[in-house]
Amino acid sequence: MARKLGKYEIIERIGRGGMAEVYRAYNANLDRYEAIKVLHSFLADAPEFKTRFEKEARNIARLKHPHIVQVYDFNFDPDTGSYYMVMELIEGGTLKDRLQELAKNGEMMPLGEALRYIRESADALSYAHKQGMIHRDVKPANLMVDRDGRIVLTDFGIAKIVTGPQFTVTGGMVGTPAYMSPEQGMGEPGDERSDLYSLGVILYELLTGKPPYSADTPLALILKHVNSPIPSACENNPRLPPFVDEVINKLLAKDPAERYQNADELIADLQELEQRSLHRTQPLNDTPVPPPLPPDNLNVVTGDDDDSPTIRKSNLIRQQAKQGAKSTRSRTPLLALIFLALLVGAAGIYVIGAQSGVFPAFGGVATDTLTPTSTEPPTATATDAPTELPITVVPIVVSEPPTSTFTPSPTLTPTPVPQATSTNTPTPEVSPTPSATPNITQTVAFERTATTAACVFDYAVVEQSPEDGDAGGFFTVNSPYTREITLLNTGTCTWEVNTSLTFVEGESFNAGPRIFIREPVEPAEEVTITFEGTLPPRGSLEPISGTWEMRTPGQIRFGAPLVISILVFDPGS
């Protein structure tokens, strides 16, 4: 008999994550297939979870947008003790699947396709942000691509459902370090600009095949988002036009005030970039010429009803045009001065040659106009010949540092002498340079906050074979014992190599002090641990138990203790 969840008939499981499992289900009343997201039952143990779930589920159900998955219903299943949401069934894979497919084939996503995905995602965020909803976990795994190529954003509101509105260290934080904004990594809840930062990370990955930052541990990855310079997408993919870096740099600005302030600003620039990418005639690695600024009497397209001439002008293009004009103006005086210097030099050589008889006198220039011992430049009068003009501008100097009042020091070495020595030579003032590494006090405080705030380490036991306790059957004293334990990473961060199941107290069954996991386990992935030991030499009418704990490589405990119980009997007693 098929399993039922309320009025829905469960067909098959189509996905599993750290917070929920997703099933394909049939709604007989409406004669359609839908997706049901069943939240793990352990989440319901959190304080005020029921109230929070119902409130946020209602908010999510109100979101109706072509690029946001539609939520139809939500309820509680008493048989499993789990809350669930019924949603639109998207036939297709995730953007993460698309990236993996491209990487497998050694291909790179076309620029137009990447810009469209990000623009449609930004359109979804724009709508949700205006409804007061922040996603807080935008990543390729939460972006579906249906069979028509439409992008659909999923898991809206899950962050607030599973952690609550406070986002405290004790409550943890939902988020993925690879796509997390610097402020989220520092333990802050983030706002709509944090969602846009995550979109910037995704855009970079779509165009280069890899995220902008990578590290061996979640904390190191968070520190890179906080401190490391923004890498150039164009350097990693030389076929990209330079204007792509400008959009990515604005999306990934460390300071939220320097990013796009809302999704609509980003959409305007993405539309401009899509047009430019479609109409490019020069090779993709050429630097485009900044377009001229439009006349002041042209209006930006805003949907107004007036009939005046209009032109769509994005902030990005306006900035480029201003920068191009500024660059042209800054080069003009320098070129003029170089030309004058060359002209003066040629004239000076000619005059000296004329004095020596090498060149004939020209245009009334006297051979005694300039002598080698002269300490002052000649002056021109209104009746002088035009060729004397270059000589009169010999004293012009483009840039000359003071010679008697400034002596730069070759090295700047701190000295413990408490009293400074007064000199007439000014020492250049050194401005503090921002360091990519926080000081010790900041690092200690940050590690304590970022590790717990950005990562939730937890697990769930999926299966044990043999089962635990009485259900596992009887085993003979002194006999070898093996149990396969399948664990699910229900946290938000990867379990690093050498994460272990560590013995704490009770009976160890001679399985050793630790059972190590020898490969990384991503969030929502399963791993099977082989528990091998020897049963004790005594039997008992009650199961013999030992307590074990999951620990990180740094011996930080996480999750509930795991009790292993075995019924052991002695045939000779």
Domain ranges across the chain: 4-87, 93-278, 457-569
Q: What is the per-residue pLDDT across 10-36, written as a single tens digit (0 to 9) for each?
A: 999 988 776 788 999 999 999 999 999
pLDDT of residue 163: 56
Which of the residue ranges 115-129, 338-352, 428-442, 528-542 has the most confident prediction, judged by mean pLDDT? Answer: 115-129
For tokens 């007064």, the residue is 422
pLDDT of residue 485: 95
Quick one: average pLDDT of 414-428? Answer: 42
CA distance 555 to 572: 42
Report which of residues 234 and 369 the model is more confident about.
Answer: 234
Q: What is the per-residue pLDDT across 234-278, written as a single tens digit (0 to 9) for each?
A: 999 999 988 899 999 999 999 999 999 999 999 999 998 888 777
Cβ atoms 552, 493 nearer than 8 A: no
Distance of CA 238 to the CA centre of its chain: 21
CATH architecture of 4-87: 2-Layer Sandwich (3.30)
CATH number, domain 457-569: 2.60.40.10
Active site residues: 137
Whether pLDDT at 476 is above 90: no
CA distance 134 to 175: 12
Q: What is the per-residue pLDDT across 384-405, written as a single tens digit (0 to 9) for each?
A: 433 333 333 333 333 334 433 3
CA distance 235 to 213: 14
* Encoded tokens for 205: 């990955």
27-36, 116-125, 168-177, 554-563: least confident range: 168-177
Cβ atoms 570, 538 nearer than 8 A: yes
| φ/ψ of residue 92, rounded to 5 | 160, 180
Chain-wide mean pLDDT for the chain? 74
Burial of 60 (0-12, 13-18, 19+ CB in 10 A): buried
pTM for the whole structure: 0.52
pLDDT of residue 428: 44
Helix, coil or strand: residue 463 = strand
* Encoded tokens for 229: 């310079």
CA distance 23 to 37: 7
Please count the helices (runs of H) and the strands (runs of E) in the chain. 13, 17
Two domains, one topology: 93-278 and 457-569: no
CATH number belonging to the domain at 93-278, selected among 3.40.50.800, 3.40.50.300, 1.10.510.10, 2.60.120.10: 1.10.510.10
Report which of residues 455 and 250 the model is more confident about.
Answer: 250
Give Cα separations from 338 to 238, 264, 325, 495 (angstroms): 34, 46, 21, 62
Query: Which residue intervals of 252-308 are DSSP H helices?
Result: 263-278
Helix, coil or strand: residue 128 = helix
Helix, coil or strand: residue 146 = strand
pLDDT of residue 156: 79
Q: What is the per-residue pLDDT across 287-346, written as a single tens digit (0 to 9) for each?
A: 343 443 443 333 333 333 333 333 333 444 445 444 444 444 444 445 555 655 666 565
pLDDT of residue 355: 52
pLDDT of residue 306: 35
pLDDT of residue 572: 67
CA distance 256 to 183: 8
Does the bond joining 466 to the residue before it have cis omega, within 30 degrees of 0?
A: yes
For tokens 């080698």, the residue is 372
For tokens 């293009």, the residue is 317
CA distance 393 to 344: 7
